[in-house]
Amino acid sequence: MFWFFPVLQISPSAFSGLSRLRVLHLESNRLSSLSPSWLRPLSSLRFLYASDNRVSSLAPSAFVDLRDLRVVTLASNRLGEEGEGGFGSEEAFRGARALDTVDLAHNGLTEVREDTGLFQKCVR
């Protein structure tokens, strides 16, 4: 028999020593945020799958140190449900220069500003 216990939060030091990790699956949990403190050690991360959680906004520095990050899936979260219909801060993606795919489907978003130029290379 398989038991599933959803993750509610992640310790700031949970990924220490994993600087070579390239793929991280966090789908179908109950995470309310993606903390820069536990993402920071993942300097080689290329794929972050965090769909089907409870993330409602992104910290301005969420992905600042993840220069190799290519794919972020945040579908089916709670982005845009609080505040003005945005998802926190476009600044969250500023450091992710290799980013080419961001999946924000099935959130409460009403706008993603184009004038930032952050998503020009992204497929969706």
Q: Which domains does the chain have, with CATH numbers?
A: 17-124 (3.80.10.10)
Helix, strand, coil in percent for the chain, rounding step 5: 5, 10, 85
Give 11-49 pLDDT, tens digit per residue.
Answer: 999 999 999 999 999 999 999 999 999 999 999 999 999
Distance from C-alpha of 45 to C-alpha of 30, rounded to nearest angstrom: 21
The whole model's pTM is what?
0.86
Q: Which two tokens stand for residue 46?
A: 């290329």
Q: String of b and e for 51-73 (b: at least 16 CB within 10 Å)?
A: bbbebbbbbebbbbbbeebbbbb
Between residues 117 and 99, the one the model is more confident about: 99
In DSSP terms, 23 is beta-bridged to 47
pLDDT of 121 above 70: no
